[in-house]
Amino acid sequence: MAYEHGIRVLENATSLPAPISSTAGVPVVFGTSPVNLAADVAAAVNKPVLCNNFAEAKAKLGYSDDYANFTLCQAMDAFFKAFGVGPVVFVNVLDPATHKTAITAISDVALTSGVYKIDETGMILDSIVVKDHSDSSTLIPGTDYTLDFDSEEKVVVTVTKTGVTSIDITGNKISPSAVVAADVVGAIDAATDTATGIEVIRDVYPVTGRFPSLLLAPGWSQNTTVGAALALKCEDINGMWKCECVVDLDSSSSGAAKYTDVPTKKSAAGYTSPHMILVWPKVMYGGQQMFLSAMYAAMVTYTDINNDNTPSLYPSNRPLRVAGAVNAAGKAINLDKLAANTLNAVGVVTVLNLNGYKAWGNNTAAYPDVTDPKDRWIACRRMFSWWGNTFIESYLEKVDNPANYRLIESIVDSENVRGNALVSTGKCAGIRMEYRQEDNPIGNVLDGKIRFRQYLAPYTPAEDIVNVLEFDPSMIETALGGE
C-alpha cells in the first residue's frame, strides 16, 4: 500500500434505500442465479433463501444483469430496486455440480507480480486447479495461491509461493444453458427425501417461518409445464397454506406474439386455476427485457405492504415502473383500452399506458369459465387465501388445547374482532365467525374435531364505472329566458 500524506476523498457506490418490509406472507421466486459468486454455494442450490434486501440477495445468490441466463436477478431488481420491498424467498436451481462445462485448459501463462486473471466468467472456484508449469506440481489453494472475483466477475489468481513464474490452469464454469424446465419443476428424491425446483416450496415455511404469498418463475413460467406446476403448488402447501402464482404467457413467435394470439394461446395452455394470475406481455426495465411476472409480483407486494399488509386492494390500474411493453422479439406492444379489455375478458392481466405504464386486469386465469366472485376476482381470491393463512398462523398454538367453551369462545371472539377491524378500515365488506352446534355433533367433539363457520366478503372491484350523460333543453331555456 502506498504511503499516504495529505488529504483525499473516496466515493462509495450509491446505496439502495432499505426496503419496506412485509409482515405477512413472502413471495417465492424460482429460477437461476450466478451461484458461483455466492458466499456459500452449497446453501444456495435448491434451498429457500430468504433475502431482506438487494445486498443480501447478491451475497447469498450472486447477481448479474444478464436476465436471460440468470432469471432470479430480474426479480431481485424488480423487488429491491424498482419497488424497494422485501423480504423475498429465492430458490436457485442452477447446480454447479451438474450445470457446468470445462474451460479450455490454460497452459504456461506468465505471472505479473504473481497475479493472473482468468478471462472467463462463471468460473466455479472449487473446480480450479493451478499447477506450477515448471514442474507440473499442483499448487495448494489457500497456501500457495488465492482466488478472488474482480468487478468483472472474473477470477484473479494470486500466487504466493516463491519461485513460481508461470502456471497451468484447468477448471469448470457454470452453464446456465444446461438448466431445463424439468429442473425448475423439480422433484422429490424418495431415497434422500430432498426436494428440487418448485418442490422446494415445502421447505419454505419450515426454514423461514413465513408462509408463501405469491409463487413465480420469471423466465421459466412461459413454459406451460412450469406454469402448470406453479398453479398446482398453490394449494395445501405443508398441509396448511394457500397462495397465488403469477405466470407469464409466452410472447414469442411460437406463443402469443401479438394480443390477438392471447386467447388461443391461453386456451391451448389449459390455464383455468383460480390461484393463477396470468400476465402478458414482457416489459422493459433498465434497458432490457424483463418478464412481467417479476415486476407485477413486486408491485402487488408493494401494494399489500402499503395497505397494512392486507391484499384487499386490486393490483390493476397501478404503476409498474417500467419503460414499455414488448413481446419476446422486442417489438413494442402498445395496447389501447379496447385491446387490453379483450385480454381481461379471457382472464389475462396486461399492461396499458395511461400516462405511465400500469397493470390492467382484475380476473384470475379461471375467468371466464369460473364466475364465482371468490375465485374470479384477484383481490377476492387473494383475500381468501391470506385470511385462511393468517387464521392458521394465529391459532396454530391452540391445537391440542382442551376443547372447552373457553377455547371456542376465544377463537370466535378473536376472529370477529379481527374481522371488524378490517371492516372498519374499509378493507372488507364484512367478516363473521360462528360456532354451530349442528356442525359439531358430540361424536366429532369426542373424536377431537371442532368446526367453525366464517363468512368473508371482500369488495369486488369498481371495474366498470358508467356516467350516463343526457342533454337537458330546459337548462338552455332557463339560461336564455332571463328573469
Residue 308 CA to its chain's centroid (Å):
20
Say what the pLDDT of residue 25 is.
Answer: 87
Say what the pLDDT of residue 483 is.
Answer: 57
> Whole-model pTM above 0.85?
yes
pLDDT tens digits along 177-205: 999 999 999 999 999 999 999 999 999 99
Say what the pLDDT of residue 481 is.
Answer: 81
Say what the pLDDT of residue 367 is.
Answer: 97
- Of the candidates 346, 325, 345, the one whose C-alpha atom is nearest the C-alpha of residue 335 is 325
Beta bridge partners of 189: 194
Following CA atoms 31, 36, 38, 39 in sequence, which dihedral angle do they give, to the nearest 10 degrees?
150
Say what the pLDDT of residue 10 is.
Answer: 65
Say what the pLDDT of residue 185 is.
Answer: 98
DSSP string for residues in 377-424: BHHHHHHHHHHHHHHHHHHGGGTTS--SHHHHHHHHHHHHHHHHHHHH
Angle (CA) 83 317 91, round 5°: 40
**What value does the mean pLDDT of the chain take?**
94
Q: Which residue ranges of the chain lie beneath pLDDT 70?
A: 1-23, 482-483
Say what the pLDDT of residue 27 is.
Answer: 98
Say what the pLDDT of residue 11 is.
Answer: 62
Report the distance separating Cα 70 and Cα 91, nearest Å: 12
C-alpha cell at 92: 436457485
**Which domains can be identified in the chain, with CATH numbers?**
20-94+178-359 (3.40.50.11780), 100-174 (no CATH)
CB atoms within 10 A of CB 208: 16
